Copies of this chain bind each other. A is one copy, B any other.
Amino acid sequence: MSTGAGVMRWWGWGDARHQGGLPPAAVPLLQAEIGLGDGRRVAFDQVRVGPAALPAGVRDDLVRAVGADGVLDDRLSRIERAAGRSYPDLLRLRAGDAEQAPDAIVLPVDHAQVRAVLDVCARAGVAVVPFGGGTSVVGGVEPWRGAFSAVIALDLGRMDAVSSVDERSLVATVEPGIRAPALETALGDRGLTLGHYPQSYEYVSIGGCVATRSAGQSSVGYGRIEDQVLGLRCAAPAIDLVCAPHPATAAGPQVRELLVGSEGVFGVLTEVTLRVRHAPAEKRYEGFMFPSFSAGSEALRVLAQEGAAPDVTRLSDEEETRISLTMSGDGGLKGQVARRYLKARNVMGGALAIAGWEGEHEEVSARRERSAEILGRHGAVGLGRTAGNAWAKGRFHGPYLRDDLMDRGVLVDTLETATSWSNLFTLYRAVGDVLREHSAVVMCHISHVYPSGASLYFTYLARQDAQDPLGQWQRVKTAATDAIVARQGTITHHHGVGRDHAPWMRAEVGDGALAALGAVKAELDPVGIMNPGKLLGV
Contacts and interface: CB of A to CB of B under 8 A. Distances in A.
A296 to B, nearest CB: 16
B517 A253 contact: yes
Contacts of A252: 213, 261-263, 496-497, 505, 509, 517, 535-536
Nearest to A253: B258
A524 B515 contact: yes
A380 interface: no
A491 B246 CA distance: 10
A513 interface: yes
A241 B512 CA distance: 4
A242 interface: yes
B168 A497 contact: no
Contacts of A244: 488, 490, 508-509
B247 A453 contact: yes
A171 interface: yes
B512 A516 contact: no
A477 interface: no
A212 to B, nearest CB: 6
Interface in A205-249: 212-215, 224, 226, 230, 234, 236, 238-249
Given A516-B524, A522-B519, A261 B255 contact: no
Given A213-B249, A230-B452, A420-B169, A517 B261 contact: no
Given A242-B510, A246-B419, A520-B520, A491 B251 contact: yes
A305 interface: yes
A28 interface: no
Nearest to A423: B169
Contacts of A513: 241-243, 255
Contacts of A240: 510-512
A248 B448 contact: yes
A438 interface: no
A249 B493 contact: yes
B451 A275 contact: yes
Nearest to A305: B170
A469 to B, nearest CB: 26
A497 B241 CA distance: 20
A418 B249 contact: yes
Copies in the complex: 2
Contacts of A258: 253-254, 257-258, 516
A397 interface: no
A100 interface: no
A511 to B, nearest CB: 6
Contacts of A398: none
Contacts of A518: 523
Contacts of A187: none
Contacts of A497: 250-252
Contacts of A509: 243-244, 251-252, 255
Nearest to A366: B366
Contact of A253 (B230, B241, B246, B257): B257
Contact of A250 (B166, B215, B245, B450): B215
A494 interface: yes
B239 A512 contact: yes
A491 B249 CA distance: 8
A248 B491 contact: no
B510 A241 contact: yes
Interface string A36-57: 0000000000000000000000
A314 interface: no
Interface in A416-437: 418-423
A229 B160 CA distance: 35
A523 B262 CA distance: 19
A126 to B, nearest CB: 22
Contact of A212 (B170, B250, B422): B250
Contacts of A524: 512, 515-516
A168 B250 contact: no
Nearest to A448: B248
Given A251-B492, A251-B501, A519-B523, A169 B263 contact: no
A450 B241 contact: no
B454 A247 contact: yes
A275 to B, nearest CB: 5
Given A168-B301, A241-B513, A242-B512, 4 more contacts: A169-B452, A250-B496, A515-B523, A518-B523
21 contacts: A168-B301, A171-B420, A213-B249, A213-B252, A226-B254, A236-B512, A240-B510, A240-B511, A240-B512, A242-B510, A247-B452, A247-B454, A248-B448, A250-B261, A250-B496, A253-B261, A253-B262, A254-B260, A255-B517, A275-B451, A278-B305
